[in-house]
Structure formats: C-alpha cells, structure tokens
Amino acid sequence: GEDVEQSLFLSVREGDSSVINCTYTDSSSTYLYWYKQEPGAGLQLLTYIFSNMDMKQDQRLTVLLNKKDKHLSLRIADTQTGDSAIYFCAESTTGGYNKLIFGAGTRLAVHP
C-alpha cells in the first residue's frame, strides 16, 4: 500500500543543521520528493531523488535515501529563519500517472 510518514515538528537554532526524516511503505516508488510550503502559499518542489540513488546534494540541501529501510531524509545546512516552513515528503510510483503521495508534513521552526 501507499503510506508516507513524517515526524510533525522540528525546532532548530539558526545556523545549525536540520534533518527531516520520512519513511514510506511502497517499494515500487520510483522517485521521492521534498516539497516546501511557506505560510499561506502552495507547495514548492525543493528536490527529488531517483530510487536507485543513495544521495543527492544541491547547495545547502542533502537528500539521503536508504531504500532497504524505505527511509528518506532531508538535511538543510546552515538553517536560516527563511527556512521556517512545512516540509513534505512525497513519493510517486511507476504507472502512477504522476500521482504524488504526500506525508503529513514536518513543521520546521528556526529560532535565533
């Protein structure tokens, strides 16, 4: 079945690294995604990783994928107050007609 789970809340100090975790159940997931939602806005795609990759780095963002454990993480280096938002993990599967299955979102709060 399709299920994506995330912890709901994370609080970090400005300048520290943030790590947001996600687990998924569908072993046929082809791509896994991280979306960001700022208050009052729609979701914005941050990054994605193909299921046969272990890691992807994009500036301050590092995505780690453990396919065996079906575990995905997003690390944000040097977290800034502008990073405060809700971060959604999502998966898509083969033959899914572009269907995205989202987790419940992790609210990241960055404090001075």
**Binding stretches for other proteins (CB under 8 A):** 30-31, 33, 37, 40-45, 48, 50, 86, 88, 92, 96-102, 104-105, 107
Contact criterion met (CB below 8 Å) for 88 and 37: yes
Least Å distance, CB 44 to other proteins, is 7
Nearer to other proteins, 37 or 62 (CB): 37
- Count of residues for the chain? 112
- CA 101/CA 4 separation, integer angstroms: 7
Structure-token match 């999502």, residue found: 90
Radius of gyration of the chain (CA): 13
Nearer to other proteins, 10 or 100 (CB): 100
Nearer to other proteins, 1 or 112 (CB): 1
